[in-house]
Homo-oligomer: A and B are copies of this chain.
Amino acid sequence: MRTADLIRRLVGSVVEPHDITVQQYNVLRILRGAGEQGLPTLEIAERMIEQTPGITRLIDRLEEKKLVDRKRCEEDRRRVWCRITPTGIALLAKLDAPVHESLSSLSTLGARDLAQLVEHLDRAREGVHHALATNHEIKSR
């Protein structure tokens, strides 16, 4: 968790001077990856690295900055499609290199160690995920 916090702050130090938070950056990355059509609001929430219940207002703020736009889905009028705007794409393009470069600091670990680290974290996450789900079940009785 110490390491995650440091990485968060490292990425923050790169993106925040451009007036977006790390979470907003994460949303933009997700939407860029999602392509033309975009994604419904709660789909974005599910893909976030840090889970956040405040997804609506997070995207409100991105919309205010014209980095994202939204429109109601016609087939299912409960849903809202969110898309990254050209301005958003341009901002990400500017950030790609510096973010990537800042994360190169992780290469204090070699490729092999890094791969193993990721694999271990994946396995750890499974265990924790299971514990959280169980915990939640118990609470909801």
Contact = CB atoms under 8 A, between A and B. Distances in A.
A4 B6 contact: no
Contacts of A3: 4, 121-122, 124-125, 128
Main secondary structure of the interface of A (DSSP, over half): helix
B120 A105 contact: no
**Chain B CB within 10 A, most for which of A116, A117, A122, A128:** A128
Contacts of A13: 132, 135-136, 139
The 4 closest A-B pairs by CB, nearest first: A108-B127, A105-B131, A4-B4, A105-B127
Interface of A: 1-10, 13-14, 49-51, 102, 105-109, 113-114, 116-117, 120-132, 135-136, 139
